[in-house]
Amino acid sequence: MRLVEIRTYRLKPGTADRFLTAFREALPLVRESGMDVVAFGRSDHEQESFHLVRAYRDRAHLEAQQEAFYTSDAWRRGPREPLVACIDDYLNTLLWLSEQGVEDLRRSNDPGGSRGD
């Protein structure tokens, strides 16, 4: 089983394209930190909403990886500001999925981001 975090972003009006560009630039940094990005992209039903899905071993693993990443100089001096400037609000949801469920989610949602266009 894997703990899956689904983070949904509600963006400020008119910032979706800027957010997508900044997020794609940040994605390699997120992956280099060791976080397993399962999927991300624009919501199918709202232009100003995006999702980011990441998988972890457990809650302690999630907290350790996110603490290390979000306090790093690479994040704070890199893509943080352009992304945060676009976000109106966000919501995290945690749930458990089987390894197969995580892989099915990954395959059907293209974590490379082409669905974010």
For residue range 49-70, what is the model confidence (pLDDT) as tens digits?
999 999 999 999 999 999 999 9
Torsional class of 7: left (φ above 0), alpha (ψ -120 to 50), beta (otherwise) = beta
Quickly state the pLDDT bin for 114 (edges 50, 70, 90). very low
Mean pLDDT of the chain: 92
Residue 113: the pLDDT is 46
Residue range 18-35: mean pLDDT, rounded: 94
pTM above the 0.75 mark?
yes
**Domains of the chain and any CATH numbers:** 2-112 (3.30.70.100)
- Phi, psi (5° rounding) for residue 112? -70, -20
